[in-house]
């Protein structure tokens, strides 16, 4: 992503306000639940089915008994997001932020967007570099697989990590979980390993598409293995994915350098499937 411009209008419970308007008292922030990021491409909300399922699971965990905008596959929330994109004249690429607040047994919501320019290539060959620090630990909870239950640990890991590196997050047992906001996939031959949510791993809405592609490529997709630092050292390839930036190749960890063979193939199919659904 090379450019970011905030939208002019925000949408609160179906009503538009100027971005600079002062809308809220301190009380509403006491009822803040969580925030979701959604990628829009030509007014199409990518990974919507997976995203709304995650939203509803989180609302259930917060004991929200009724959520009118997210019922029936999120039809009403989707309509409101599309209204907001149109109002802000964001007809190509945008990053949508949806904030959820408790209102008794129901919810209130706020929508705002950023104009975003995404790279057109399916994958950058510059590659990312990872950083391993045993102090970057995430505790397992019922919210571990969501950004809601992970962001505090991610922010802590970034404090002592050089900005050019992606910090690796582990669980209390020392097993590899993720890097902040992204799922990790480890390729060894025709096997592809990824941490499981039972171990405390974050799960991006883009995860099911990656799994679908790997199975189409006849790869052995393994989710129940506990991944260690040694597995990363011995890997042929490593890549990361989330629903905003797509697939990102990992070039190195310390002195170790990784190939870009299966990753390039998976990234190409990932991009093709997204474009096909626009």
Q: Going from the first residue of the chain to its last (278 residues), give the mean pLDDT of each consecutive group of 10, the final group possibly shorter.
A: 71 92 75 95 93 96 89 96 95 94 91 85 87 94 96 94 94 97 98 97 97 98 95 98 96 97 97 87
Instruction: Return the beta strands (E) in 159-232 as ranges.
Output: 165-167, 169-170, 176-179, 182-188, 191-193, 220-222
Looking at 41-180, list the stretches that DSSP marks H as alpha helix, in order from N- to C-terminal side. Answer: 48-61, 71-87, 151-159
Rounded-to-integer distance, Cα 199 and Cα 224, Å:
9
Rounded-to-integer distance, Cα 242 and Cα 265, Å:
17
Q: What residues contact 173, with CB distance under 8 A and at least 6 apart?
A: 199, 226
Instruction: Return the beta strands (E) in 74-175 as ranges.
Output: 93-103, 106-116, 128-131, 165-167, 169-170
Question: Residue 4: what pLDDT?
Answer: 59
Question: Rounded to two decimals, what is the model's pTM?
Answer: 0.94
Rounded-to-integer distance, Cα 137 and Cα 135, Å:
6
Question: Residue 278: what pLDDT?
Answer: 65
Hey, where are the domains in the chain? 4-116, 128-276
Which CATH code of 3.20.10.10, 3.20.20.80, 3.40.50.2300, 3.40.50.1370 fits the domain covering 128-276?
3.20.10.10
Question: Residue 272: what pLDDT?
Answer: 94
Fold exhibited by the domain 4-116: D-amino Acid Aminotransferase; Chain A, domain 1 (3.30.470)
**Is 186:168 a contact under the CB 8 Å cutoff?**
no
């Amino acid at each position: 992503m090379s450019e970011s411009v905030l939208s002019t209008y925000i949408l609160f419970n179906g009503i538009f306000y100027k971005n600079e308007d002062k809308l809220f008292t301190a009380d509403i922030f006491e009822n803040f639940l969580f925030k979701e990021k959604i990628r829009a491409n030509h007014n199409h909300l990518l990974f919507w089915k997976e995203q709304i399922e995650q939203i509803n699971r989180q609302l259930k965990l917060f004991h929200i008994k009724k959520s009118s905008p997210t019922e029936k596959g999120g039809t009403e929330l989707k309509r409101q997001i599309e209204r907001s994109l149109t109002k802000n004249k964001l007809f190509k690429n945008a990053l949508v932020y949806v904030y959820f607040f408790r209102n008794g047994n129901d919810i209130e919501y706020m929508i705002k967007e950023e104009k975003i320019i995404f790279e057109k290539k399916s994958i950058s060959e510059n590659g990312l570099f990872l950083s391993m620090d045993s102090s970057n630990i995430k505790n397992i909870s019922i919210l571990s697989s969501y950004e809601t239950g992970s962001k505090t640990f991610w922010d802590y890991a970034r404090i002592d990590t050089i900005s050019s590196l992606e910090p690796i997050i582990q669980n209390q047992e020392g097993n590899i979980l993720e890097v902040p906001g992204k799922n990790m996939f480890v390729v060894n031959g025709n096997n592809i390993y990824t941490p499981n949510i039972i171990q405390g791993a974050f799960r991006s809405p883009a995860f099911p598409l990656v799994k679908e592609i790997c199975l189409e490529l006849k790869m052995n997709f393994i989710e129940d293995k506990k991944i260690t630092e040694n597995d990363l050292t011995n890997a042929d390839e490593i890549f990361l994915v989330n629903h905003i930036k797509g697939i990102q190749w990992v070039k190195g960890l310390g002195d170790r350098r990784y190939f870009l063979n299966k990753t390039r193939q998976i990234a190409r199919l990932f991009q093709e499937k997204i474009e096909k659904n626009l």
